Amino acid sequence: MAEPSRDTFLISNGIPETVKTSREIVQSVRETTRRHNNWFKESIPLIASENFTSPAVREVMNSDLHNRYAEGLPGKRYYQGNIYIDEIETLCEEVAREVFRCRFADVRPVSGTVANLAVLMAFAKPGDKMTAVGLSDGGHLSHAKIGAAGLRGVRTHHYPFDKKTMNIDPDGARRLIREVKPKIALFGQSVYLFPTPLEELRDAFEEVGCVVWYDAAHVLGLIAGKRFQDPLREGADVVSGSTHKTLPGPQHGMMISDLRRESFETSLRRGVFPGVTSNHHLHSVAALAITLAETMEFGEAYADQTIRNASALAQALHERGLDVLCEALGFTESHTLVIDVEEHHGGAKVAKALEDANIIVNKNLLPWDSDPVRPSGIRVGAQEITRLGMKEKDMTDVAEFMARVVVKGEAPSSVIEDVKTFKRDFTKAHYCFFEGQEAYDYPSFVDDM
């Protein structure tokens, strides 16, 4: 059978027929990127796992560091040409230890999931047992059999989950740990409304002798800002996380620890390299160093305002008839809200309708759901709109836009212009050096071809 022509391939995959030459492809991608930037400039970004980087971070991301290799540790590289990245990486780890008040930091994982793989490489062998939060209860894919844990051959057992509090049940978790005797007790969620009751489980950890691992991907910035909880002081041996959610840095990963056991540092270092990384994206390490420095300066104020905004948005949505979970507990103590929209045609349809109005959320499984493609919930995060300068009073407007689409059933086309008008006041970066610069700049340094 003959191969399809290049033009047929492009057209069948949604590429305009006019795009034929290599120069036209370049221009098409650049123009599409501009359209993406402009779309988000006119949208309300509420994905709980996203954020944007500061102007200083974007500068080093677009540097020659992007093109270089640095396997190993500073001073012990397998490549030449690492004089300056050694300085940057060493500084980045120093700042990370200060921000998180810990003895150890490794900033080489290239994502949160890669950091998780490194922890699994460090502490678990195939066939070992691990306790974790289930996917339908808000656990992360990398903790599951179908993700990184399964790839490592780890057998996962799920904590009993309290649907009313959207948190693990401490008594049930204690019994599970004592019964299973896991090699690792993992705590962490993609839907993180309230702190994990780590201190209540210390007796079980000590009795079993397991490694206590806290995946802080979603709340790493809140922890850095001394909000939410302090897992290393509450019983965790190692904390992993991605660096681009409530910590508003590059898409990257990291691990921190107080090294309660002598072997931990060697195990974690080897888990990263040669365990699960080769080169570790040097431009992102430089960007993370700047992000952590900005966190030293602005992190507490940013974390505090993020949680205040999330709480205010939850209350405003509740008052407009949306079923925001955990009303009795104040809805949330983090950046995240979860809303049951089953009566409004479910999470998938609601998320799409809001997107059509330039309000960006995601569909989300709730503990009682069984179909991940058609969940009954949506997840909302306040961290990015806070970074754009919104305060509690602005949450009323955001909630009203959402309610007009979801509760009142207005056509998204009748809401979108109001969203665009509202967003014009919120396109600048806050809580960073060079505050007030445009958050959606497109660094076009190539003349039109």
pLDDT tens-digit map of 73-105: 999 999 999 999 999 999 999 999 999 999 999
ω into residue 274 within 30 of 0, thus cis? yes
CA-angle at 253, arms to 95 and 45, nearest 5° = 100
Amino acid identity, position 305: Q
**Residue 446 identity:** V
CB 46 within 8 A of CB 364: no
pLDDT of residue 441: 82
Average pLDDT, integer, range 288-309: 98
Enumerate residues 6+ apart whose C-beta is below 8 A from 41. Answer: 423, 427, 439, 440
Tokens linked to 406: 């979801």
Cβ atoms of 377 and 166 within 8 Å: the answer is no
Average pLDDT for residues 99-113, to the nearest whole number?
Answer: 97
Torsion sign (Cα): 168, 171, 173, 174: positive
What pLDDT does residue 144 have? 78
HSE-up of 254 (CA within 13 Å, CB side)? Answer: 34
- Residue 31 bridge partners (DSSP): none
Arithmetic mean of pLDDT over the chain: 93
Most confident of 269-273, 367-371, 439-443: 269-273
Residue 447 has pLDDT above 60, yes or no: no
CB 114 within 8 A of CB 241: no
Lowest-confidence region among 42-56, 114-128, 132-146, 357-371: 132-146
Ranking 1-15, 166-180, 431-445 by mean pLDDT, the lowest is 1-15
pLDDT of residue 449: 61
Q: What is the mean pLDDT of residues 429-437?
A: 95
Q: Which of 11-15, 35-39, 377-381 has the lowest mean pLDDT?
A: 11-15
Tell me what percent of the residues of the chain surpass a pLDDT of 70: 94
Q: Residue 293 carries which DSSP code? A: H
Query: Quick check: 8 pLDDT over 90?
Result: no
* Angle, vertex CA 276, rays to CA 271 and CA 282, nearest 5: 100
Confidence of residue 383 (pLDDT cuts 50, 70, 90): very high
Average of per-residue pLDDT across 107-115: 96
Query: CB neighbours (10 Å) of residue 405?
Result: 23
Supply the pTM of this predicted model.
0.93
Q: Please give the domain boundaries of the chain with CATH numbers for all domains.
A: 56-294 (3.40.640.10), 299-423 (3.90.1150.10)
* Cβ-contact 412, 357 below 8 angstroms: yes
Q: pLDDT digit string (tens) for 171-230? A: 999 999 999 999 999 999 889 999 999 999 999 999 999 999 999 999 999 999 999 999
110 or 27, which is more confident: 110
Query: For the ranges 88-92, 187-191, 393-397, 443-447, which has the lowest average pLDDT?
Result: 443-447
Amino acid at 337: L
Residue 1: which pLDDT band, with cuts at 50, 70 and 90? very low
- Sign of the alpha-carbon torsion through 101, 105, 110, 115: negative
Strands in 247-328 per DSSP E: 248-257, 323-324
Has residue 15 got a pLDDT over 70?
no
Contact between residue 261 and residue 237 where contact means Cβ atoms under 8 Å apart: yes
Do 213 and 236 touch, CB atoms closer than 8 A? yes
* Cα 133 from Cα 136, distance rounded (Å): 9
- pLDDT of 9 strictly over 60: no
Q: Looking at the predicted structure, is the pLDDT value of residue 19 above 80?
A: no
Q: What are phi and psi of 99, to 5 degrees?
A: -60, -45
How far apart are alpha carbons 112 and 124 in whole angstroms? Answer: 18
Q: Residue 142: pLDDT band by 50, 70, 90 thresholds?
A: confident
